[in-house]
Homo-oligomer: A and B are copies of this chain.
C-alpha cells in the first residue's frame, strides 16, 4: 500500500522560468527515458516477482522513489511555465524572442494543461505503457532496468548541458546521482545471482536440448564486401563460459525459397492469384 508525505523528495528551484526548457524537461517525465516509465516498470515487475521476496521489496521500494521523481519534475515544469505568453498580441508578434518562445514551447502547455506538467515527452507524444518491460525473468528484467537508468542518466546529462539555470542544474545533478545508483543496483542483482557467467544465456533455465547450440556462438557476417568486425565477440571464451566465439563469413541461406502457392477460393484474393 502506498502513502504520501507533503514535501518533495528534493528541492526545486527555477531561477529564470523558460517555457522551452519546460518542453524539454517533459522528456524526463513522459519520455521512454523518463520517470513514469521506471516507476511503472519497477511496480509491475514487483507485482510479478517470483522467487526470493527480497527482490520484490527492492523493486517496489525503488518504484516508490521514482514516483517521487515524477512529482518534483512535474513541479519543475510548472515553475518553468510561470509567465509564459498567453497571447499572440501584435506587439508580441514583432518581438522575435517572444515569437521563438511561442513557436518553441509545447502549445498544449497553454492550451491543454493550463501551464503545468503533462504525461508526455518533449514532442508532446503521450507516454504509452507498452514500454513497461516486465518479463517475469529476473535476468531480463534487471538488464531492462539498467537500460532504462542508462537512458535516464544520458537524458539528465543532456538536460543539464542544455540549461544554464542554477536551480535546474542543481535538481538535475540530484537526478544524475540517483540514476548512477539505480544503474548499479540492478546490475548488482545480476552479480549477486552469479554474474554474467551464471545468468547467461537468459533464460538460463531453457533446457539445452531446446537450443541448436551449433548456432549459438558464432558471429554471422552478413556484410558482402567487408570482413567481420573483430573484437571480444569473435574469439575467446563466450561470456557464459560454455564455448568459444567464432565467425561465420559470407553466410549462405540454409532454408528453402518460400512459396505459398495459389490463393484459396473464398479468401478474398484476385482471380489471377487462384
Contacts and interface: CB of A to CB of B under 8 A. Distances in A.
Among the interface residues A33, A144, A257, which one has the most CB atoms of the partner chain B within 10 A? A257
Contacts of A219: 61, 181, 185
Given A3-B223, A135-B154, A153-B206, 8 more contacts: A11-B256, A20-B88, A86-B264, A112-B135, A114-B137, A114-B158, A116-B134, A127-B128
12 contacts: A1-B71, A9-B251, A61-B229, A65-B222, A86-B162, A111-B155, A127-B129, A136-B263, A143-B147, A169-B210, A173-B212, A180-B240
Band of interface residues on A: 35 or more
Interface in A159-179: 159-164, 169-170, 172-174, 176-179
A8 B1 contact: yes
A38 interface: no
B88 A205 contact: no
Contact of A70 (B43, B136, B163): B43
Contacts of A187: 196, 200, 239
Contact of A48 (B52, B115, B129): B115
A162 B211 contact: no
Nearest to A187: B239
A269 B193 CA distance: 13
Contacts of A224: 3-5
Contacts of A183: 200-202
Contacts of A54: 229-231
A84 to B, nearest CB: 9
A223 B60 contact: yes
Interface in A197-251: 199-206, 210-226, 228-233, 238-240, 245, 251
A77 to B, nearest CB: 8
Given A4-B2, A112-B155, A150 B137 contact: yes
